[in-house]
Amino acid sequence: MRLLLMGPPGSGKGTQAALLSRRLGIPAISTGDIFRSNLAQKTELGLAAQAYMSRGEYVPDELTDALVRDRLAAADCAEGFLLDGYPRTLGQVTTLDTILKEQGTHLDAVLELSVEVEVLTRRLTERAAIEGRLDDTEEVIRHRQDVYAEQTAPLLALYAGRGLLVTVDGVGTVDDVAQRLAESLRPFVA
């Protein structure tokens, strides 16, 4: 299966992507994780992404698209993948369409985790205390929500128009949400 997992910062995408990838036996690919590990290793990509990430801005499409193109070409993606946090811009949607067309494949579904903004802010503030991410400060948290609303939320309508969007309530325990996601995918699993 070829899936996207979308949702605002703090909606639990990373946690649910890991569970779903195990359940379905496909790799979960988080562009945010790839940027963070590049930054930890001080690679050229990581250093280029750092300034954007620390401000809560999106890394430019050229950099993000190139890394996704490389990652999707890897052997472990041949039978499917779950993209977590990509695409986030209209330009990235176009790039992903091109990559999949070149591969002769297509998306099976786009899963959206829906969570209201007060819950998101609370979750991210709690995570800040635990993980100490450079983009989990109060001001940057707020900005990331705005960037999502402006640049990424409109993509949901686009995928809905293609008949691919499945919206799942992202409020509840990790197990509850995982269960809802699994159920919502049932019609798509042969």
By CB under 6 A, name the binding residues for ligand AMP.
9, 30-32, 35, 52-53, 56-59, 64, 85-86, 88, 92, 135, 144
Smallest gap from Cβ 36 to ligand AMP, in A, equals: 7
Contact 38, 49 (CB under 8 A): yes
Count other Cβ atoms within 10 Å, centred on residue 136: 20
Smallest gap from Cβ 28 to ligand AMP, in A, equals: 12
DSSP the chain: -EEEEE--TTSSHHHHHHHHHHHHT--EEEHHHHHHHHHHTT-HHHHHHHHHHHHTPPPPHHHHHHHHHHHHTSGGGTT-EEEES---SHHHHHHHHHHHHHHT----EEEEEE--HHHHHHHHHHHHHHH--TT-SHHHHHHHHHHIIIIIHHHHHHHHHTT-EEEEE--S-HHHHHHHHHHHHGGG--
Question: 9 or 12: whose CB is closer to ligand AMP?
Answer: 9
Smallest gap from Cβ 182 to ligand AMP, in A, equals: 22
Residue number of the CB closest to ligand AMP reads 32
Contact 177, 170 (CB under 8 A): yes
Question: 58 or 81: whose CB is closer to ligand AMP?
Answer: 58
Question: 97 or 183: whose CB is closer to ligand AMP?
Answer: 97
Question: 21 or 31: whose CB is closer to ligand AMP?
Answer: 31
Smallest gap from Cβ 126 to ligand AMP, in A, equals: 15
Smallest gap from Cβ 189 to ligand AMP, in A, equals: 26
Could you give the residue numbers annotated as active site? Answer: 13, 88, 127, 133, 144
Question: 46 or 179: whose CB is closer to ligand AMP?
Answer: 46
